């Protein structure tokens, strides 16, 4: 049975990670009803076979709620780890010397294997090595192709296969591991909408993934390495969307550096017209508590005021004790912030100048008309989704109703700010365009009789990238009567 589902009242999207606490069809439906607009599948955990039923359950939402569903598959990326210890665990004393080398012999408190030859080739004297999510800090005092001699600046316990971060040098590693390539092929075969690439350092890191995806999904770059900041604009231009992955970014940089960088990444992504997701530890306390701290609520609100397209839950919805409540809280924060009379001013602190194209000029004009004339919605017809992205970049004060004949496009736009996406047949004439726009606006509840709406499309129809029409129309009482008669007949 299909349930009618009104568009969300808020414009920021909520991206919920699925995991052991939330990967059943019943829980996925509850998360959607609580406010989840899109779902993240973390390829770092579990095997591929376990993901198949999860993906099917997400797609079933389309039949139940008559709304496109959005799936992001997040690749693990190249994880750097130390080797194993003879006793399984050692304690590194601050001020001591510790060596990392190629020797596979189990280590002790003086040395351990580092099974990543590319690190030895890239390392420089004076660079830091961070172990176990930054809990231990080593400083390189000698380095060559076979070993790194370090001084322990911050000591502590270290056990087998703990993670290693290298914040001070660019390690020339392939962005995709063998596991990532397998997971990417699986995700594409399952028809996911977005592929997230971890530990992007350079725009070149995106090239192989882009080639393997072959246009079958959108590509999202996770910004979690300091090296990525140095080439941020190039990376943003080379991808379809961006994630501010504050977890690893906060390990490799001082914590106080992360908030200004978050604002910079959001601003750059918005200016260049790419959807941007703010992620990691947003409501961390809700993993074990039914309510968040006030500081966490303020953190989420800041991302919304900055104009982020989406805010993401990680362990809160994947493995926490309160997954539905954490999504409901994200939804409530979004609603509250966007009701603030100052919200509209604050999200326009970022200046998004239109490119010198007809489509960009019309998108800016649509926002200006919506601010000047009383309209209920901006309705755009799009094949590729580019028109919707241009309009969303302007952050208009009214809903964006996106009509597309491509189901894949409707699904991918689920991470885009302010859009309500409808999969529908294409139109063949100007008259049909206007009539369909009015009818679906009524059906989706974004307009009523007497309201005016803005309609954007491209002529000739069925030609991607040809947006050149902006039309303001009014929905009459007769059109409402006709719609209600059609609805009754169905």
> What CATH architecture does domain 89-165 belong to?
Beta Barrel (2.40)
User: So what's the pLDDT on residue 1?
Assistant: 52
What element of type H or E holds 98? strand 97-101
Which is it for strands 136-143 and 147-154: parallel, antiparallel or unpaired? Answer: antiparallel
pLDDT at 461 over 80: no
Q: Cα(197)–Cα(471) distance, rounded to whole angstroms?
A: 39
Tell me whether residue 81 is one of the annotated catalytic residues: yes
| Catalytic site residue from 17, 70, 268, 280 | 280
At 42-63, the pLDDT tens digits run 999 889 999 999 999 999 999 9
When pLDDT is averaged across residues 60-88 and rounded to a whole number, the result is 94
| Catalytic site residue from 11, 13, 40, 412 | 40
Q: How far is CA 325 from CA 88, 146, 313, in A?
A: 39, 51, 11
Q: How far is CA 283 from CA 73, 305, 319, in A?
A: 21, 17, 13
Tell me whether residue 293 is one of the annotated catalytic residues: no
Range 448-464 burial, b when 16+ CB lie within 10 A, else e: ebebbbbbbbbeebeee
Q: Which runs of consecutive H residues, i.e. helices, occur in 193-342?
A: 205-213, 226-230, 232-238, 246-252, 258-271, 294-305, 315-318, 323-339
At 386-404, the pLDDT tens digits run 999 999 999 999 999 999 9
What element of type H or E holds 40? strand 38-42
| Catalytic site residue from 13, 202, 222, 274 | 222
Which is it for strands 194-197 and 136-143: parallel, antiparallel or unpaired? Answer: unpaired
Which residues have CB under 8 Å from 476's CB, separation 6+? 449, 450
Q: For residue 462, what pLDDT band results from cuts at 50, 70 and 90?
A: low
Tell me whether residue 280 is one of the annotated catalytic residues: yes
User: So what's the pLDDT on residue 465?
Assistant: 65
The CATH code belonging to domain 358-489 is 3.40.1380.20
Q: How far is CA 327 from CA 34, 92, 280, 455, in A?
A: 6, 41, 14, 33
Range 28-57 burial, b when 16+ CB lie within 10 A, else e: bbbbbbbbbbbbbbbbeeeeeeebeebbeb
At 246-279, the pLDDT tens digits run 988 888 888 899 999 999 999 999 999 999 999 9
Which residues have CB under 8 Å from 378's CB, separation 6+? 366, 367, 370, 391, 396, 398, 399, 400, 401, 453, 454, 456
When pLDDT is averaged across residues 355-367 and rounded to a whole number, the result is 90
Helix pair angle (430-444, 477-489), 10° resolution: 70
User: So what's the pLDDT on residue 359?
Assistant: 86
At 410-425, the pLDDT tens digits run 999 999 999 999 999 9
Q: For residue 405, what pLDDT band results from cuts at 50, 70 and 90?
A: very high
Mean pLDDT across the chain: 93
Angle, vertex CA 36, rays to CA 31 and CA 39, nearest 5: 95
User: So what's the pLDDT on residue 490?
Assistant: 64
User: Is-contact 277 246, C-beta < 8 A?
Assistant: no
DSSP states of 367-404 as a string? Answer: HHHHHHS--S-EEEE-SSSHHHHHHHHT--SS-EEEEE
Domain spans of the chain?
13-77+174-342, 89-165, 358-489
Q: Cα(280)–Cα(312) distance, rounded to whole angstroms?
A: 7
| Catalytic site residue from 30, 59, 81, 139 | 81
> What CATH architecture does domain 13-77+174-342 belong to?
Alpha-Beta Barrel (3.20)
DSSP letter assigned to residue 108: -
pLDDT at 282 over 90: yes
User: Is-contact 131 82, C-beta < 8 A?
Assistant: yes
When pLDDT is averaged across residues 428-444 and rounded to a whole number, the result is 92
Tell me, yes or no, if the pTM score tops 0.85. yes
pLDDT at 481 over 80: no
């Amino acid at each position: 049975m299909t349930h009618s589902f009104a568009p969300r009242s808020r414009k920021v999207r909520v991206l919920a990670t699925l995991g052991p606490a939330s990967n059943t069809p019943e829980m996925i439906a509850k998360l959607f009803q609580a406010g989840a607009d899109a779902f993240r599948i973390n390829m770092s955990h579990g095997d591929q076979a376990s993901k198949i039923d999860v993906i099917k359950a997400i797609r079933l939402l389309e039949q139940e709620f008559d709304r496109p569903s959005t799936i992001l598959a997040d690749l693990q990326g190249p994880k750097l780890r130390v080797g194993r210890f003879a006793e399984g665990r050692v304690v590194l004393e601050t001020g001591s010397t510790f060596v990392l080398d190629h020797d596979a012999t189990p280590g002790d408190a003086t040395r351990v294997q580092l099974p990543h030859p590319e690190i030895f080739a890239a390392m420089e004297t004076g660079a830091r090595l961070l172990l176990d999510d930054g809990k231990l800090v080593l400083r390189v005092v000698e380095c060559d192709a076979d070993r790194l001699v370090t001084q322990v600046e911050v000591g502590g316990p270290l056990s087998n296969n703990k993670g290693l971060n290298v914040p001070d040098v660019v390690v020339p590693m392939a962005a995709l591991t063998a596991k990532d390539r397998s997971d990417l092929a699986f995700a594409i075969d399952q028809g996911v909408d977005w592929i997230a690439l971890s530990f992007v350092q350079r725009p070149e890191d995106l090239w192989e993934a882009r080639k393997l995806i072959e246009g079958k999904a959108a590509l999202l770059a996770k910004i979690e390495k300091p090296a990525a900041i140095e080439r941020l604009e190039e990376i943003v231009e080379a991808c379809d969307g961006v994630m501010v992955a504050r977890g690893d970014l906060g390990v490799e940089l001082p914590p106080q550096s992360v908030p200004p960088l978050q604002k910079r990444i959001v601003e750059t992504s918005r200016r260049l017209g790419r959807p941007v997701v703010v992620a990691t530890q947003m409501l961390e306390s809700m993993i074990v508590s039914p309510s968040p701290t006030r500081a966490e609520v303020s953190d989420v609100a800041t991302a919304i005021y900055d104009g982020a397209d989406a805010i993401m839950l990680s362990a809160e919805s994947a493995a926490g004790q309160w997954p539905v409540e954490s999504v409901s809280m994200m939804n409530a924060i979004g609603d509250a912030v966007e009701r603030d009379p100052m919200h509209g001013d604050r999200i326009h602190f970022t200046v998004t100048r239109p490119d010198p194209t007809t489509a960009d000029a019309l998108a800016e004009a649509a926002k200006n008309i919506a601010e000047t004339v009383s309209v209920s919605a901006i309705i755009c017809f799009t094949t590729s989704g580019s028109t919707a992205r241009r309009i969303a970049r302007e952050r208009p004060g009214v809903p964006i109703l996106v009509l597309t004949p491509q189901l894949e496009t409707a699904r991918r736009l689920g991470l885009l700010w302010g859009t309500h996406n409808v999969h529908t047949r294409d139109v063949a004439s100007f008259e049909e365009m206007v009539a369909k726009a009015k009818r679906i606006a009524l059906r989706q509840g974004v307009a009523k009789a007497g309201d005016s709406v803005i309609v954007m499309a491209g002529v000739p129809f069925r030609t991607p990238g040809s947006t050149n029409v902006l039309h303001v129309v009014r929905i009459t009482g007769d059109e409402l009567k006709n719609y209600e008669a059609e609805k009754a007949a169905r």
